[in-house]
Amino acid sequence: MCRWAAYRGDPLYLEELVSSPAHSLIEQSHCATRAKTATNGDGFGIAWYGDRPEPGRYRDILPAWSDCNLKSLARQIRSPLFLAHVRAATGGGTRRDNCHPFTHDTWSFMHNGQISGFERLRRPMEAMLDDELFNARSGTTDSELMFLLALQFGLREAPIAAMAAMVGFVEDLAENIIGSILLRFTAAFSDGNTLYAIRYATDRKAPTLYASPVGAGYCLVSEPLNDDVDAWAEIPDGSAVTVGKDGIDVADFRPENQRAAKLQPLAVSA
């Protein structure tokens, strides 16, 4: 499993999450404590927003702990909203275009989790994309494809609803093709103004997600960046998080699919 951290608030140097804390993201790249895999050495990436609407991005296949450029950039770049990710590959080769975050226009996205049986679902998932989004796909991961599908399902207009539609589509597809569903999905994404996150899994074993105030903003992380455990609130499984100018909001998250519809209570008329 991967590790990631995201921030939205008053401008902050990236090093405040990436390299400075006692349990920074770089530290987690070789010594994660709340993941099945302690080492996340299959590449890394950062995406940050500045004066332009599109995010800047830096990714490489080196382990985060061995890239001196990452530490230098993190010390110099100051941003009001950024995403950072260290990768432990569960599918797709170790190559730059498989490293998170993924970007398209003003949007950025990173993910921790997996789709079981993805090799059988990949082609019908890709078939749902229009030409623009299909041609934007450069890697081979399920993460990038889920991001593009969310864009296809209306991420620009309704971010949380689009993610619910994407997750529901994948679940329906898996049930129809494989006969079973196992999806674990803890992701962060942004349009440069608002930071969003989802924590969800079909087996109720979603990868971890925590939130904490940091300076004049909020940080979302896979695991706490320091030993002050009281400062970090765990986000429950089945949640959607929104971090905007008015603070942080946590709401229930449910996929929009045929399976979920079957679980809805029937309306009873008087």
Active-site residue numbers? Answer: 2
φ/ψ of residue 9, rounded to 5:
165, -155
Distance of alpha carbon 136 from alpha carbon 4, whole angstroms = 23
Peptide bond into 80 cis (omega under 30): no
The DSSP bridge partners found for residue 242 are: 196, 249
Order across the sheet with 56-60: list the strands.
56-60, 44-48, 78-86, 3-13, 217-221, 210-214, 233-234
E-strand spans in the chain? 3-13, 44-48, 56-60, 78-86, 102-104, 107-115, 183-190, 195-201, 210-214, 217-221, 233-234, 239-244, 247-252
- Under DSSP, the state recorded for 211 is E
What residue type is 113 in one-letter code? G
Distance of alpha carbon 141 from alpha carbon 109, whole angstroms = 13
Answer for the pair 162, 155: CB distance below 8 angstroms, yes or no. Answer: yes
Answer for the pair 99, 60: CB distance below 8 angstroms, yes or no. Answer: yes
β-bridge pairing 247-252 and 233-234: unpaired
